[in-house]
Structure formats: structure tokens, C-alpha cells
Amino acid sequence: MKQERFDAIVIGGGPAGAAAGAVLASKGRRVVILEREKFPRYHIGESLLPYCYFPLERLGLIEKLKASHFPKKYSVQFVSTEGRLSVPFYFFQHFEHDASMTWQVLRSEFDQMLLDNAREKSAVVLEETTVRELLRTNGAVTGVQAVSTGGSSVQFHAPVTIDATGRDAFAVGRNGWKVRDPYLNKIAVWTYYKGAVRDPGLDEGATTVAFVPEKGWFWYIPLPEDMVSVGVVAEKEYLYRDARELETIFQREVKNNRWIEDHLAPGAQTGQYFVTGEFSYRSRYCAEDGLVLTGDAFSFLDPVFSSGVFLALRGGEMAADAVDEALAAGDVRAERFADYGARLCEGIEAMRKLVYAFYNPRFSFKEFLMEFPQLRGDLTDCLIGNLYRDFEPLFGAMAKFADVPAPLPHGGAQKKEAGNLSGHAAD
């Protein structure tokens, strides 16, 4: 069997894997990215957060994005169940920086851009290569076994492997590490429309979140070529209450929000209807010896605030920095990644608290800000992705309106002790 040796292996070439591969390669590491699909490939997750700017800047992609045909996103707007539109929330009102404008992306093109960028930085990228097994030596991950679409099997060896396999969550599945969020269990049904209404001027590229009953909501995301991505997220029981057909479910919910109905009216539905379930989870561990998890392969959070691509880009970048340091120290044991896991969880927890507040029937962002106007900046920071700062005042005040969830206890690095080979979180 063919064998190849690298400094690091990245499984998955989505935003997390491509970012991790590019950062490691630009640090001079020999890195291989193994991607199952042939890019460009379809992916959901089209609305970026303003703070994506910073990892994208580090990757050297800002100019390419500025020159792209992706709609510019200056704001988020909310529409009540009665179809009333709130005043759009413009990011530039909060901070004056290029980052206050972001993009609605076609993931096929955006992910291709990221993967090409990793290639340009000298990462070896192998598409149509599916990782099937983690290889272990004395309990530590020391490589992977992969299969190409042609059917040939190759072994890749490296002191450290980064799992960036997205919601397939390769290591989480193999290791039995998936822990579902105790409360966030929505599903999504979505499709695309051509020729639907776009709001004028600055609001043309806005993300709209439009409510339906039972704390369900629609996303409405303008894309290039006059397309709109539109999907409904709600409890499974609510969406499947009287129908199984995705089209029937989707079209029934469209009638539950006048704004969505009116905006879609002149458009033509195109392509298939999609569904995804089992929304939010986090891995029990972020690392074992020789293996680090990142992006959705580590954790997935309900997409209401469009945090997934940001967390994937930031997570990929942070994983690459941690791996580079571990390689320099010649120590890739799980404990080395304890700080990485803690930091990753810190950002996810801030966003998770906001998501809980969003779904709490007693909570309203409007009423919250009327009582605590001084916390508007903190709230905005959280919403735009400035997640790695102290949010104690924000969530302390929020607790007066809604239950703020305690941080999940898991997500640290696996720590093996004599007699306890199943391990426990190191932090």
C-alpha cells in the first residue's frame, strides 16, 4: 500500500480544514488536506459574520472577496410573525472598520477559494480522497487510511492530524464522543428562489430572520445571480405535525409569515428541497494524543446567528497555531491542546447563550436593550463575532430575563491517566 509522510494531516477541505491547512503551510509545515468531494461542491451556510474578516485577512483573501460577485451584507433585520420588519441593524453603526461589511457567499465558490488558497500556500490538497480510518501507534493517532474514488488505498502518516470533517464529525462518530445539546434540537428545511424580492439600497444584501409560530424562524439570504437562499428552522414535531413532504412543509410555513410570502411571490422556486436534523452538539473532547478537532467536526451550534463559518475559520486558524506550537515542542499529546479547547469553547459558549435567549419565549432583545441600553455594544460584539472578550455584564443582565445556560462541562482535551484509559476532560 502507498504510504506518505507529512508534518500534519487535515481531514476535510471546508472552511475549517482549508484555513488550518493554509496557516500550517504558511508556517512552512508539510501539510496534506484530504477532501472527500471534488470541489466546487454544494454546501449550506451562506451568510458570513463581520468578524470573518480577520481570519480571511490572515489568509490573504480580503481583496478576492471584495472583487467577488457575492452580495455585500451590511445588516441583519428581523421580521415579526405578523410580517412587520424591524429597523435593520447596520454593523457600521457599531464599529468603523472594513470588517463592518461582510458577504453572503455561494459556498461552492467560497470554499473553492479557500481550498485554492491553501494550495497556493503549498498545502498538498487531495480531493476525492475519503478518510476511512485513524491509524494509531501506542494509543496515539499517527496517521490515517484513505481511499481515492478510483478505489486505491493510501496511508498518510504525520505526528498530528486535524479532523475538520464538518457535521460528518469523523472522530466524534468513531470515538463515540457526540454529546447533543440538551435543549437546542431544531431541524431545518430549505430551498432556493430565483427572482424573489431584494430590498433596496444598503439592505439588498441583508440577512433577514423572519419569525414563524413556536419560536421557529426563516432565513432569507440574497445570493449572486438573483438567487435567494430561504429556509425554515423549528422543532421537528412542529414542522412535521401534519405533513412529511418537504415541499408541503416549506410552503405551509411560507404562509405563516407575510413578509416571506410577499418576498417570494414574484420568484420561482428552483432545485430541490433540503432537510437537516440533529442540530446542536459538541464533542466530549477537542483532542486526543495526535488528533485535534475543529469546526463542525468539534461542535455545531444552531445557525440562527450565522456563526458556523466564523467558528470554522477561527477554529481552523487556532487549531493550526496550536498544532504548529505542539510540533515545535515535539509534544502532540492531548494535554497540549487543553488551552485550544478552552478558548474554542469560550467563543462557542458566548454564542450559545445568545441562541438560548433567542429561543426563550420570555426573552425579547428589544425589551432587553430598553432596560439595558448601555449593553448594546456588548450584545453587538457577540452578534458580529467578537467573541473572545468578557461578556459577564451582558449575560449577567440577560439572566434577569431568561435562563442563561451554564457552560457545557465537556469539550476539553482528553487526558489519559493510569487505570483510566477512557480519559476525562483536562480542563
Ligand X SMILES: Cc1cc2nc3c(=O)[nH]c(=O)nc-3n(C[C@H](O)[C@H](O)[C@H](O)COP(=O)(O)OP(=O)(O)OC[C@H]3O[C@@H](n4cnc5c(N)ncnc54)[C@H](O)[C@@H]3O)c2cc1C
Q: Which residues bind ligand X (CB under 6 A)?
A: 11-17, 34-37, 43-47, 130-131, 164-168, 170, 188, 231, 276, 295-297, 303, 306-310, 312
Q: How far is the CB of 165 from ligand X (least distance, A)?
A: 4
Q: Closer CB to ligand X, residue 192 or residue 368? A: 192
Q: For residues 50 and 385, what is the distance between their CA atoms, to the nearest angstrom?
A: 7
Distance, first Cα to last Cα, the chain: 40
User: Cell 477541505, residue?
Assistant: 13
Residue closer to ligand X by CB (options 156, 365) is 156
- Give the residue with the Cβ less far from ligand X, 34 or 125: 34
CA distances from 326 to 38, 141, 323 (A): 31, 14, 5
How far is the C-alpha of 269 from the C-alpha of 190, rounded, in Å? 11
C-alpha span between 12 and 33 (Å, rounded): 7
At 131 the three-state DSSP class reads: strand
Residue 267 C-beta: closest distance to ligand X, Å: 19
Q: What is the CA radius of gyration of the chain?
A: 21
Least distance between ligand X and beta carbon 35 (Å): 5
Integer Cα distance of 7 and 159 in angstroms: 6
CB of residue 419 to ligand X, shortest distance in Å = 33
The residues that bridge with 217 in the sheet, in sequence order, are 211, 233
Query: Rounded to the nearest whole angstrom, what is the least distance from the CB of residue 421 to ligand X in the complex?
Result: 25
Question: How far is residue 288's CA from residue 303's CA, in Å, rounded to a whole number?
Answer: 27
- Residue 123 has a CB neighbour count (10 Å cut-off) of 27
Q: Residue 99 or 309: which CB sits closer to ligand X? A: 309
Q: Which of 116, 335 has the CB closer to ligand X?
A: 116
Q: Tell me the closest approach of the beta carbon of residue 342 to ligand X, in angstroms.
A: 19
Q: Nearest distance from residue 45's CB to ligand X, in Å?
A: 2
Distances in Å between the Cα of 169 and the Cα atoms of 133, 189, 281, 324 are 13, 21, 10, 23
Taking the complex as a whole, the smallest distance from the CB of residue 134 to ligand X amounts, in Å, to: 10
Instruction: For residue 421, give the H/E element and its range.
Output: strand 420-425
Closer Cβ to ligand X, 35 or 317, answer by number: 35
Respond yes or no on whether the N-terminal peptide bond of residue 40 is cis (omega within 30° of 0). yes
164 or 345: CB nearest ligand X: 164
**What does residue 260 show for φ and ψ, rounded to 5 degrees?**
-65, -45
Grouping H, G, I as helix, E, B as strand and the rest as coil, residue 365 is: helix
